A and B are shown apart, each in its own frame.
Chain A
Amino acid sequence: MKIDPSIKKDLEKRLKEDLASRKSQVTIVSAYKLNSTDTASIFKKFSTLKKSNIKYVVDETIIAGYIIKVGSKVVDISVKGQLESFKNLII
């Protein structure tokens, strides 16, 4: 089946945009709702993070700390993550 080149181009463009958006999407998971002081400390520590396109998620199961996701990359500095690492270390 032959695909219309314009549709193909449009699809490629949309996919690239979606991929770029996903790559730049930042998600910060915290155990409580963050205030401005908290976010400021995060941006101070992670200066490479762009302040736009950020999604804040509250997950009480992480106890304390944060999980920061940038695209497909993750940094886990939550208590839950630390305990998991400790568990993996002792097994």
Chain B
Amino acid sequence: MENLGIDLKLLIAQLINFVLFFFIIKKFVAKPFLKFINDEKEKEKEKQKLLLSIEKQEKAAIEKEKAMQLKFKKELDVAIADAKEKATHVKEEIIKEAKEEAETIKKNAKAELMSEKEALYTEVKSKISELSLLIVNKALADSLDTEAKRKVTAKIVNNLPKNIDFYEN
């Protein structure tokens, strides 16, 4: 061996050295490094899981939002339809009330007009009577002398009934 240039002692020492190196590396470097890699892999898997979960949640949230929007739209449509119906009802009520009010006003105006007409008619009648009376009074006063008045008076007195009532002034 020595002829081949191999030093057995050195070889053994190197082997021991290598084995020691191997054990030291395996125990203090390779193991923590592998652990670190495995941990990282686990973390990556967790991340992926979390990402998937988030994506699922996001999708679910979008779906929920869509459903809610749809529901809201439906509710809005129902509310609008209801409001429209109520508005139509209110409009009809207002028109009905306005018509009734107009009818009442018309009726009252007609009654007032009739009343005014009646009052005017009475006034005209009264004026005509007063005027006629005035004319007759004037004509009689102008045309009758004392003798004629005496004759008229005598005629009135003669035509009086037997019992004449005095009335309170």
Contacts and interface: CB of A to CB of B under 8 A. Distances in A.
B166 A73 contact: yes
Contacts of A41: 154, 157
Interface string B137-169: 100110010101110111011001000111111
Given A72-B169, A73-B167, A83-B133, A31 B125 contact: no
Interface residues of A, number: 30
B17 interface: no
Majority secondary structure of chain A interface residues (helix, strand, loop or mixed): mixed
A6 to B, nearest CB: 35
Tier of interface size on chain B: 20 to 34
A52 B122 CA distance: 46
Given A77-B160, A79-B152, A91-B122, A64 B166 contact: no
Given A32-B146, A42-B157, A46-B164, A87 B133 contact: yes
A41 B83 CA distance: 95
A64 B152 CA distance: 6
B88 interface: no
A81 to B, nearest CB: 10
Interface of B: 122, 125-126, 129-130, 132-133, 136-137, 140-141, 144, 146, 148-150, 152-154, 156-157, 160, 164-169
Interface of A: 30-32, 38, 41-42, 45-46, 60-61, 63-66, 68-70, 72-75, 77, 79-80, 82-84, 87, 90-91
Given A64-B149, A65-B152, A74-B166, 15 more contacts: A31-B153, A41-B157, A63-B141, A64-B152, A66-B157, A68-B166, A69-B169, A73-B169, A74-B169, A75-B164, A79-B140, A79-B152, A83-B133, A84-B133, A87-B129
